[in-house]
């Protein structure tokens, strides 16, 4: 059987389409395997009773396992807030880790909190997101006993350093909750005294005055309720210390932008080339059916034109 040009083109297109489908299947399998290798955090978030930070025993929280001599650049400065009664602190840490170590470190931090029991530490939120093969971001939010918050943060940083990670950001912010509590107490006392005088006037007042006096008393009660809610919120901020750990690898490292090495630049260039080739192949696959349909229509039109509209051959002279 003679292979004509249309048959050769059809065979070539079929072979090309088969190679493209096989390449995409291999790429998808590899990407799925990379995602499966990243093991997410296995922490069960269950409702827990309200926190009670009364110490279970008189012994203080165990000090951190790192000392001043081992605290290097990876662990950050060993600086803690000065003891200040009435100040509510908030701790935030950011870490750079390898993609394969983030889930492990996140689980170890959660286990540290669980060992303290819900009376001294509680997990309030977590996040684990795989963005790319090398790019993973994660978060762990805690509420810790204020007396051991600094030690807990140093121990958590030590865990990261042992996993060949790096502390990229450490922030401790404070709010003078004690002053807010005192101001709210003074405001409540003044408003309650004013409300008592207004209620005495209500008891002695006439029926015409009671409407306006009752409205003023209702406004005072609402102001007192708002001040009490604010005071309770300030007292709660003194009873617990929020702490947040953020983890990242690759381009998802929080607060860190390292200068790429030559190998990383070459790898990024290779990935850009592969991404461009993949986009081009997707475009070819999207346009291939239309190109095949157009070629088939053109071939049918050419056959019809040659068969039905070709000029008849002149008869040969005898």
The pLDDT score that the predictor gives to residue 82 is: 54
pLDDT digits (tens, 9 = 90+) for 179-198: 777 888 888 888 888 888 88
Instruction: Please name which of 170, 164, 151 lies closest in space to residue 96, comparing C-alpha atoms.
Output: 164
User: How many whole angstroms separate alpha carbon 131 and alpha carbon 123?
Assistant: 24
Task: Say whether pLDDT at 57 is over 50.
Answer: no
Write down the mean pLDDT value for the chain: 75
pLDDT digits (tens, 9 = 90+) for 273-307: 888 888 888 888 888 888 888 888 888 877 777 77
Task: Say whether pLDDT at 55 is over 70.
Answer: no
Output the six-digit token pair for 233. Answer: 């919120």
Identify the band that residue 312 occupies on the pLDDT scale cut at 50, 70 and 90: low
The pLDDT score that the predictor gives to residue 16 is: 63
C-alpha to C-alpha distances, 100 to 31, 103, 168, 249, 260, nearest whole angstrom:
15, 7, 18, 9, 20
Task: Say whether pLDDT at 99 is over 80.
Answer: yes
Tell if the pTM clears 0.85, that is, is over it.
Answer: no
Angle at 37 between CA 170 and CA 254, to 5 degrees: 20
Identify the band that residue 264 occupies on the pLDDT scale cut at 50, 70 and 90: low
Q: What percent of the chain has pLDDT over 70?
A: 67
Angle at 97 between CA 147 and CA 242, to 5 degrees: 25
Task: Say whether pLDDT at 114 is over 90.
Answer: yes
Of 57-61, 92-96, 219-223, highest mean pLDDT: 92-96
The pLDDT score that the predictor gives to residue 160 is: 93
* Residue 281 backbone zone (phi > 0: left; psi -120 to 50: alpha; other: beta): alpha
Residue of 114 and 177 predicted with greater confidence? 114
Identify the band that residue 105 occupies on the pLDDT scale cut at 50, 70 and 90: very high
Identify the band that residue 28 occupies on the pLDDT scale cut at 50, 70 and 90: low
pLDDT digits (tens, 9 = 90+) for 65-96: 334 334 445 555 555 555 566 778 889 999 99
3-state helix vs strand vs coil in the chain, percent to 5:
55, 15, 30
* Residue 16 backbone zone (phi > 0: left; psi -120 to 50: alpha; other: beta): alpha
The pLDDT score that the predictor gives to residue 125 is: 93
The pLDDT score that the predictor gives to residue 161 is: 93
CA atoms within 13 A on the CB side of 106: 33
User: How many whole angstroms separate alpha carbon 72 and alpha carbon 86?
Assistant: 32
């Amino acid at each position: 059987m003679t292979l004509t040009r249309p048959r050769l083109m059809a065979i070539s297109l079929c072979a090309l389409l088969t190679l493209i489908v096989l390449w995409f299947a291999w790429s998808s399998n590899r990407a799925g395997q990379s995602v499966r290798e990243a093991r997410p955090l296995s922490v069960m978030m269950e409702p827990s009773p309200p926190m009670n930070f009364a110490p279970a025993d008189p012994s203080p929280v165990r000090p951190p396992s790192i000392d001043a001599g081992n605290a290097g650049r990876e662990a950050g400065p060993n600086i803690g807030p000065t003891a200040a009664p009435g100040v509510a602190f908030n701790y935030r840490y950011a870490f750079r880790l390898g993609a394969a170590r983030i889930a492990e470190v996140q689980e170890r931090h959660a286990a540290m909190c669980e060992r303290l029991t819900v009376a001294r530490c509680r997990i309030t939120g977590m996040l684990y997101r795989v963005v790319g093969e090398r790019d993973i971001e994660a978060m762990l939010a805690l509420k810790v006993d204020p007396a051991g918050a600094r030690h807990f943060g140093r121990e958590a940083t030590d865990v990261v350093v042992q996993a060949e990670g790096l502390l990229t950001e450490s922030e401790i912010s404070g709010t003078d909750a004690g002053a807010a509590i005192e101001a709210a107490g003074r405001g409540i006392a003044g408003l309650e005294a004013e409300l008592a005088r207004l209620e005495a006037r209500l008891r002695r007042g006439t029926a015409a005055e009671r409407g306006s006096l009752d409205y003023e008393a209702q406004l005072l009660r609402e102001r007192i309720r708002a001040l009490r809610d604010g005071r309770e919120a300030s007292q709660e901020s003194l009873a617990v210390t929020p702490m947040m750990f953020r983890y990242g690898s690759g381009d998802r490292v929080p607060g860190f932008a390292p200068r790429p090495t030559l190998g990383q630049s070459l790898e990024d260039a290779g990935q850009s080339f592969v991404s461009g080739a993949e986009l081009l192949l997707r475009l070819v696959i999207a346009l291939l059916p239309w190109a095949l349909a157009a070629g088939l229509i053109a071939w049918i039109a050419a056959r019809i034109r040659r068969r039905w509209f070709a000029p008849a051959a002149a008869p040969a002279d005898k």
